[in-house]
Amino acid sequence: MSGRAPRFPLPLDRVSPSPAAQRRTATAPARTAGDAPTGVGLDSSGVRLRMVQRLRAGGVRHEAVLAAFGAVPRHHFVDTALVPQAYEDTALPIGHAQTISKPSVVARMLELLFDGRNAAAGGSLGRVLEVGTGCGYQAALLARLSRQVVSVERLRALHDKARELLASQPRGNVRLVYGDGRLGHPPNAPYDTIVAAAGGDALPDAWLDQLAVGGRLVAPLRAADGGQVLVVVDRDDSGWRRQTHEAVQFVPLQSGVF
């Protein structure tokens, strides 16, 4: 990946402290080696911890998923004007008629992926295909949960943006692909897990073909009432088995590249 990603918002600790604040700092006890760093503003681990606590209260139980949410700074992946909302449980626009999904929905999909992994997986999602890179936030989460992530984005502007933003993240196991997500990415198939951030009328045959035996796919799909539901597909030696879960709302799955 080329270049170093800009860090935003601007650090919140560069405003000169008031004389009163300086006096308080001078009289404050020194930090000991055992004190945990708290960070500043939205870089504080405490901000992410509160989001994790809300996810846990909402029913998320997989500890690796919760740990990933606690480690990845969501505010780095949204536009500056939306940074104050970064840790709320809400979808946010990222431009080009696309969104970064609600944390609770992303966590639910990742937990569903793990539910399909057996003990031999060693607590990892294995090789993952992500359809719809968007701003790169989910790819950053997946990087902490898997051996390798191949993430496909059809919009060139978002592909470039994700490449820039992910350059600042510590994991190097993400490969970004500019291409039509409906086609998956055959060169790295088969995939142990596949997750999609856009929903269509049917699951593309390419995704089903590229899912490894023993693998699991999670994606939104149009329901009979015109809404969307989460669909889980497991592949075994006899074929594919499908389950339907709760209602969701994702952007439409589209073909082609722009």
Gap between the Cα atoms of 244 and 232, Å rounded: 6
Which tokens is 7 given? 């860090």
Q: Answer with the residue of higher pLDDT: 39 or 202.
A: 202
Tokens 């939205």 label which residue? Answer: 42
Instruction: Give the Å distances, CA to CA, from 63 to 60, 119, 155, 235.
Output: 8, 15, 33, 25
Average pLDDT value for residue range 191-204: 97
> pLDDT tens, 25-81?
333 333 333 333 334 467 778 999 999 999 999 999 999 999 999 999 999 999 999
Phi-psi category of 95—alpha, beta or left, where left has phi over 0 and alpha has psi -120 to 50? left
pLDDT at 123: 76
pLDDT at 195: 98
Gap between the Cα atoms of 46 and 51, Å rounded: 9
Active site residues per annotation: 101
What structural domains and CATH numbers belong to the chain?
105-252 (3.40.50.150)
Which tokens is 14 given? 């560069």
**Number of separate helices (H) and strands (E) present in the chain:** 7, 11
> At residue 8, does pLDDT exceed 50?
no
> Which band of pLDDT confidence, cut at 50, 70 and 90, is reported for residue 3?
very low
> pLDDT tens, 82-134?
999 999 999 999 999 999 999 999 999 999 999 876 544 457 999 999 999 99
> Which band of pLDDT confidence, cut at 50, 70 and 90, is reported for residue 217?
very high
